[in-house]
Structure 1
Amino acid sequence: MFLDVLIRRNPAFIEAAMELHQAGRIPANAYVLDLDAVERNARLFQHEAQRHGLKTFAMTKQVGRHSGFCQAVMRGGIDRAVAVDMACALACDRAGLKTGHLGHLVQIPRHEAAYAGTKLQPDYWTVFSDTKAGEAASAARSASREQNLLARIQTEGDTFYRGHEGGFAAEDIVAIAERLDDMEGARFAGITTFPALLFDLEARKVKQTPNLATLGRAADALAKAGRTGIEINAPGTTSSAVVAALAASGATQCEPGNGLHGTTPLHAVEDLPEDPAVLYLSEVSHHHGGKSYCFGGGLYIDPVFPDYQVRAIVGPEPTSDRSALRDVEIPDYSAIDYYAMIDATGPRPPEPGDTVIFGFRGQAFVTRALVVGLSGVASGNPAVTTIENGFGDQVSWPGAFRP
């Protein structure tokens, strides 16, 4: 889905990745990042967010919490992360990107709260219940600090992905704020939900969910109760194109993830300011039954779009030419993605060792793919920075750094 925009707007990135793979410096089954483009994207996003008075927390899970990604985001002016879970927070912190927001989407396990409160010391910590609020407060108290808590709220008619449900009753927000304020070591700081924005496929636009109106009603209730300076965290499908609308709705915080590498759903149908900065790279393994099989492991296609014909650039030499495009069959989601099957018709079928380039809106942290950073694409001197796993740990890879 995102290969077209990669070809049009960042062909040098495709060619650099292919060249480095053919030189043995990028392994098959790897998400590859154009760190120069990430830095540019972060800078333009942060400029837009500051123009509208919004705090920015970068989401890194989609690209495997890669340390180079974190550092590129920081060079672009964003110095805080939103961590989807503790593993995400630890990886970002290790890379130097401090924890701006913790506990949303995934709450912090009980015996990990102490470390979060004393070592990570997040600016904001989302809680779904009094029990979780108490654990956060206790952790902060142990570090002689006061923790800003965001209450995740919900009401009937709000939109949640299955398995994401949870939170306080929005109608009780004033009483909830008072209870959180009464906890030693914590203070009520604001409210959050997810998703506040979603891509509408039929309209080909990003639209507000009912959750955003729920946040607005809760904020009004808090204001009538005399509370000021309430933080409103409203994540979901965040790119520079939606910042103004978020600010107009009352949001004070935004959390770009796919937006920082140019792969929100809106990027697939409109040319937005952010350049595409991630691709998935594989390699042809063998032939069978008129197909060329390429290695899998990271063939995660985010189901934000209905089924579509997956295509890939395939070849032995660096190219971004559309003549190198081939249809690809991806295994069903219920299967382990050991391989994908490439159309092998035509005068030159793909051969073992050929590079395969996909344009996925991926979620690298839920795959077994590696994540590779590239610097120097913009200057014409591309080089691998680090090869890391989905937890942001640097790994050694046979041949990847051979002289």
Structure 2
Amino acid sequence: MFLDLLRRRNPKFIEAAMALHQEGNIPANAYVLDLDAVEHNARILRAEGDKLDMKVFAMTKQVGRNSAFCQASMRGGVNQAVAVDVACAVACKRAGMDIGHIGHLVQVPNFEADMVASYLQPQYWTVFSLEKAQEAAAAAHKAGRQQDILVRIKSDGDVFYKGHEGGIKASDIVEFARKVDAMVGARFAGITTFPALLFDQDTHEVKPTPNLTTLENAAAALIDAGFTDIEINAPGTTSSVVLEALAKAGATQCEPGNGLHGTTPLHAIKDLPELPAVLYLSEVSHLHEDKAYCFGGGLYIDPVFPDYDVKALVGSTPTTDNAALASVDIPPATAIDYYGMIDCTGSVQPKSGDSVVFGFRGQAFVTRAFTVGVSGISTGNPKVETIENIFGQAENWPNLR
């Protein structure tokens, strides 16, 4: 779905990735990142955030917490990360990013709280329960800090992805906030939910969920109870064009992830200010009957979209032409994606060693793919900066040949 977007808005990126692969500088099974475009996108998001007085935290899981991606975001002015889990926070910290937010979506495990408080030192730490608030407070006190706590809230009718549920009742937020403020090592800082916005398949628009109203009502209750300077964290489907709507609802924090590489659902159907900055690169392994098999490992298509005809560009020379497009059968999510199967019954006749380029709205961190940062594409001087695993750790392959 995002391959058409890449071909139209960032064709030099595709050509550079294919050329670098054919030169032996990028491995198969790699999420490749256009670092120039990432920096460009970060500047746009930072400027819009500044205009609306919103904090902007970078979500890096979708691109495997790649260190060059983190640094490109920082060059664009997005200097803090939101960590999906502790491993994500460690990778971002190693890359030089401060941790703006941890604990949401994944809570901090009890026996990792001391390390989070002393080493990662997040600006905000989200909790779903009183027990988790007590753990965060105790760890912060032990580290000689006072930790700002965000609280995940929920009301009847709120929307959560399956397996993401949790939080305290919004009607209990005032009492809960007072309990947090009474803890040594903690300070109640604000409220959060996820998702606050979702893409609507029918209208092709990004719309607020009931959760956003829950945040607004809870904030009003806190203000009536005497709380001030309340942070409202409202992530979900974040691009620069939705920040104004979030700010009008009272949000003070946003957390772009796919927005930083131009792959929110809205980017697929509208030309937004952010450029597409990620592609998935593979290589033809072998042929069998009427299929060419390309290496997998990162063939993850975000289920936010309904099923569609997956296509890829295939060739031994850089190309974005229609003539190089072929349909590809991707293994189902219940299977291990050892290979993708390229249709050979049409005009495209793949050969072993050909480059294969997909446009995915991916989640690299749940795969076994590499992540590769490439600089200089905008100036015509592409250069591989990093080859890393999904934990943002360098793979020592300065040249694969």
Relative to the length of structure 1, the TM-score reads: 0.98
Q: Deviations over 1:300-341 (max 9, x none)?
A: 000111000000000010111122111111111111000011
**Distance in 2 between residues matched to 1:347 and 1:149, nearest whole Å:** 58
Map of 1:133 onto structure 2: 133
**Structure 1 equivalent of residue 304 of structure 2:** 304
Aligned equivalents of 1:173 and 1:398: distance in 2? 52
The separation in 1 between residues aligned to 2:389 and 2:102, in whole angstroms, is: 22
Q: Deviations over 1:3-61 (max 9, x none)?
A: 00100000000000000000110000000000000000000110001101100100000
Q: Measure, in 1, the Cα distance between the counterparts of 2:369 and 2:88.
A: 16
Alignment of 1:189-208 (within 5 A): 189-208=189-208
Distance 1:160 1:364 in 2: 22
Q: Report matched runs for 1:149-164 at 5 Å.
A: 149-164=149-164
| CA distance, structure 2, for counterparts of residue 85 and residue 324 of structure 1 | 39
Cα distance in 2 between the residues matched to 1:91 and 1:398 = 21
Corresponding residue of 1:257: 257
- Cα distance, 1:396 vs structure 2: 2.1
Partner of 1:8: 8
1:347 Cα deviation (Å)? 5.0
Partners in 1 of 2:346 and 2:129 — Cα distance?
60
Secondary structure of the residue aligned to 2:73 is helix
| Equivalent residue, structure 2, for 1:223 | 223
Per the alignment, residue 119 of structure 2 pairs with 119
The aligned counterpart of 1:187 is 187
Query: What RMSD, in angstroms, separates the aligned Cα atoms of the two structures?
Result: 0.9
User: Does the 8 Å CA contact 1:281/1:358 hold for their aligned counterparts?
Assistant: yes
The total of aligned residue pairs comes to 401
Structure 2 CA distance for aligned equivalents of residues 390 and 206 of structure 1? 29
1:3-402 mapped onto 2 (5 Å cutoff): 3-347=3-347, 349-397=349-397, 399-400=399-400, 402=401
Which sections of structure 2, spanning at least 5 residues, go unmatched?
none
Contact 2:314-2:348 within 8 A present in 1 as well: no
Change (3 A) 1:228 1:341: same
What amino acid maps onto 1:308 in structure 2? Y
Identity of aligned residues (%): 67
Residue type of the partner of 1:75?
A: R
On the 8 A contact 1:27/1:397 being kept in 2, the answer is no
Instruction: Write the deviation string for residues 76-111 of structure 1: whole angstroms up to 9, x where unpaired.
Output: 001100000000000000000110001000000011
The question of whether the paired residues in 1 share the 8 Å contact of 2:326 and 2:348 is answered with no
- Matches of 1:203 and 1:46, distance apart in 2: 28
Amino acid at match of 1:354: D
Amino acid in structure 1 at the alignment position of 2:18: M
Write the distance in 2 (CA, Å) between the matches of 1:346 and 1:159.
44
**Partner SS state of residue 88, structure 1:** helix
Work out the CA distance in 2 between the residues paired with 1:137 and 1:87: 21
> Aligned equivalents of 2:330 and 2:126: distance in 1?
37
Structure 1, unpaired ranges of 5+: none
C-alpha distance in 1 between matches for 2:186 and 2:165 = 24
Residue-by-residue CA offset, 1:224-243 (whole Å, 9 max, x unaligned):
11111100000000000101
Describe the superposition over 1:179-205 as per-residue Cα deviations: whole angstroms up to 9, x where unpaired. 000100001000000000000011100
Where 1:184 maps in the other structure, the secondary structure is coil
Distance 1:187 1:348 in 2: 61
Q: CA deviation at 1:372?
A: 0.3
